[in-house]
Structures are given as structure tokens and as C-alpha cells.
Structure 1
Amino acid sequence: MDRKFLTIMRNEPVTHDTRFMELAGDCREITKPGQFLNIRLDGCFLRRPISIYDWTEDRVSILYKVVGKGTRQMADMHPGENLDVLLPLGNGFRTDLHGRKPVLIGGGIGMPPMYGVAKALRRDFPDLPVQVILGFNTAEDILPTEAFRKLDIEPVITTADGSAGMKGFVTDALEQTEQDYVFACGPEPMLRAVWPLAEDGQFSFEERMGCGFGACMGCSCRTKYGTKRICKDGPVLMREEIIW
């Protein structure tokens, strides 16, 4: 983990409440999908943790939902401005563990890490049959999926109201999908519903964080193997260690 000052290259809306931001700078320390940035914003006591969507050695991109003071401030920023960022944080997904028929599941803004997992699996295991299920509330909430198609993956889309794709939740699609390993990121109710349907897998949890790197213990959770910190020991936990 290191502190960087990254320059905004792009900051564009992709849905009615979600934006895409690309940052330029030294990003060589990012190594795994599922890691995140912690962004300092003027007037905000705590940094804002945002999942990494994609990265290279000198670029990192994020998708973020505008929901409060910090993300509204981010939405008003322009190319050329700098951000004070801690990166990379979190343990990320282990893509060397993937089963024979992995399914990647993203709920809402939990979709960005799933693209990182898909990209890593395609690169390292090109013959692996990767499937992706993405869940949203309505059609207007659907995040761009063209990046998956460039990997030759056609995501299954679900919407709670049936306004696009399959009506229902990601679990409805998962029950109709042959799989032996799940990568999942999204709100806790979604993860809790996916867990009993998964034979094995990894789950990325969202949590309010104080420091973002394990010092404050504010995001601690109980697991079968003792107390872990979502920011440092997570956000990715193995299926077998999760206690609901």
C-alpha cells in the first residue's frame, strides 16, 4: 500500500447515478482484481473506498455510484485535477482458485471487480468456460457490459423489476447455471443468498472503513478462523470461512 497523487483523465456518467473515472499515475503495485483505492476528499473525515475496475502500470479506472457527500464531490471533478489516493488496499481475489466451471456474480456496483476477475481468468486460463451474472434493480441501473463482450463473455443480466434481462435476482439465474465455483461481489443480502447455492468460491464484502489498511479495527468481522479485518484481510473471504 502506498500514497499516490493521481491525475484525473476522465470522469464521465455511465448511468443516471454512476460514473466512470480514469486516473493516471504509478499503479504498478496493483496486482489482483478485487483490490480497492481509498480516496481522500476535502471536507470528508474518512477516505472513500472504491473498488478497482481496471488497471495498467500507469492507469487505474473505477466505477462509482454517487450516493453521498464524498462521491458527489468526486462527480464534480474535472480532468487535470489530482486525487490523494492510497493504493492498492485489500487482499483481492485469488484467480488461481477457480474450479472447472466458474461463475462470476456482481450485484449493482459490485460489478467492477468481476470484470477484473474475468480479465485475469481469460488471460491465465483461456480455455476455462467463464460465465457472468450481473444483477440490478432496474434497466436504468445497468452498468456498461461491453468490456465483458470484448472478452468473449456475454453476461446474464437480471433486474428486480423485469425491465431488462431476466426478471428476478442473481440467485434466480444462478439456480439455472451449471457451476462449481463462484466469485461474488455485491451487497451483503445478495452474498448471503448466493452462499448456499455455491459449492465453493470467494465473496467480496462491502463495509464501512475507518482507515482502510487494518489499523483501526473498525471493520472487523468474525470468521471460522478468527477475527478478520474486511479492509486488510478482506474484502475477499473464502466461502468456507464465512459466518453469517
Structure 2
Amino acid sequence: MKQSIFTIIKNEPLSSTVCRMVLTGDTSAITKSGQFINIKIDGFFLRRPISVCDYDHKTITILYKVVGKGTQALQKMEPTMSLDILTGLGNGYDITKSGNRPLLIGGGVGIPPMYRLAKDLLAEEKKPLVILGFNTKDEAFYIDEFKQLGIEVLVATADGSLGKKGFVTDIVKSLSNYTYFYTCGPEPMLKALSECTDTSGQLSFEERMGCGFGACMGCSCQTKYGNKRICKEGPVLEKEEIIW
């Protein structure tokens, strides 16, 4: 974990509810897809944990949903403004278990970490298939960005306004030629995927956090090996270890 000051390069809307922010600063603590950052926003006691969508040696890209006062304040921030950020948080995904044809399944704001994961798997000459889930077409984002990587993308919307009507699980149930799965999204989606998938997989949990680095024990998840802190031992957990 590292605390650094980052400067905003870009802050723009992607959909009716989701924005993209690009920041420049010290990214050396970020080593895996699936890790997250914790942002200090002036006027708010707790930092805001947000997954990393992409990164390089000097920039971080995050996608965030505007849902409360904290993210509303983040949305109003402009280029050249600075943010105090903790980086390198969480364990991230283990891509050594992927096999040749992994599924990458993202639901809503669980989609961002799938993007960097897809790039990492492609770099290992794997052939991932991406499944994205939204409530409606108006909330959809980053479909073209995944396609530009040369990846097949399947989309589900709850109201049927884009792609297949239904949920990501409806698409997964129709597939059989995948070797592993990675996912991030709301807990009901994660539970449903655990029950309907035929392979092992890794699930990244979205959870409210106090500190973000394991000190407060406020984001624990029950597993077969005892309670694990989502911010420290997670946010990525193995399918087989989770007690629902």
C-alpha cells in the first residue's frame, strides 16, 4: 500500500450514471488487475474505495458510479485538481488459473476491473470471453472498449433494451466451452454465478469499507477458512471457499 497525491487528467461521463476519471501519479504499488484504490474526498470522513480499471507506469483509470454525496463530489472535480489516494490495495486476480478460455463476467460497476484483467490475459495469449450485465441500455458503458481489444463481448440487460434480456447468468448457462471464470459485481450476482458455473472461479466482492487496509475489520466475509477481510485478504476470493 502506498499513499500518494494524484492529479486529475480527465473526468468525463460515460453513461447516465457512470463516469471515467484518469489520474497521474505514483502507480508503483499497483501490481495486479482486481486491486483497488481508496480516495480521500474533502469534506468526507471515510475514503471511497474504487476498483482500478486500467493503469500504466504513471496513470490510473477508474470508472465510478454516481450514487451518493461522495461520488457526486468526485464528479464535480476538474482536471489539474489533486486527490490523496491509497494505492495497491487488495489481493487482485490470479491469472495463472485461467486456462485458455476464461469467462470474464462484470455486472454494473463490477465491470471496470474486468478491463485490465482482459488485457493481462491477452498478454498471456489467452482467449477470454467477456459478459457484461446492465439494468438498461442507457446505463451501458465500456462495451466498445472491450471489443477494441479484439475480445468477443456478450451483453445482458434486465429490461432487454440491449443484448439478451435477462441476467449474465442466463448467458453463462448457455455456455459450455470455458475453462474458468472471473467476476465482479453485486453479491446476488456473485452468488448466482457460483451456483450456475461448471468450473472454479474467482469472485471480487463490492463492500462498504472503513479503512480499506484491514485495520477496522468492517468488511469481513465468512469463508471455510474463517472470516476474511474484503479489503485485505480480498476483494478476490475463490468460489470454493465462500460460505453464502
User: Deviations for 1:34-53, whole angstroms, at most 9, x for unmatched residues?
Assistant: 10010001111110000000
After superposition, residues 159-198 of structure 1 pair within 5 angstroms as: 159-178=157-176, 179-198=178-197
CA–CA distance in structure 2, aligned partners of residues 63 and 177 of structure 1: 28
Deviation at 1:176, TM superposition (A): 1.1
Unpaired stretches in structure 2, ≥5 consecutive residues: none
After superposition, residues 1-244 of structure 1 pair within 5 angstroms as: 1-124=1-124, 126=125, 128-178=126-176, 179-198=178-197, 199-244=199-244
User: Deviations for 1:51-86, whole angstroms, at most 9, x for unmatched residues?
Assistant: 000000100000000000110000000000000000
CA–CA distance in structure 2, aligned partners of residues 164 and 145 of structure 1: 11
- Normalising by structure 2, we get a TM-score of 0.97
Unpaired stretches in structure 1, ≥5 consecutive residues: none
The residue type paired with residue 136 of structure 1 is: F
Q: Retained in 1: the 8 A contact 2:132–2:156?
A: yes
CA–CA distance in structure 2, aligned partners of residues 65 and 155 of structure 1: 21
How many residues were matched structurally? 242
Deviation at 1:136, TM superposition (A): 0.3
Comparing 62-71 with 193-202, greater Cα deviation is found at 193-202
CA–CA distance in structure 1, aligned partners of residues 227 and 163 of structure 2: 39
CA–CA distance in structure 2, aligned partners of residues 9 and 147 of structure 1: 19
CA–CA distance in structure 2, aligned partners of residues 230 and 182 of structure 1: 19
Deviation at 1:129, TM superposition (A): 2.5
Deviation at 1:156, TM superposition (A): 0.2
- Normalising by structure 1, we get a TM-score of 0.97
Percent identity between matched residues is 55
The residue type paired with residue 175 of structure 1 is: K
User: Deviations for 1:169-228, whole angstroms, at most 9, x for unmatched residues?
Assistant: 000000111223110100001001100122200000011100000001111121001111
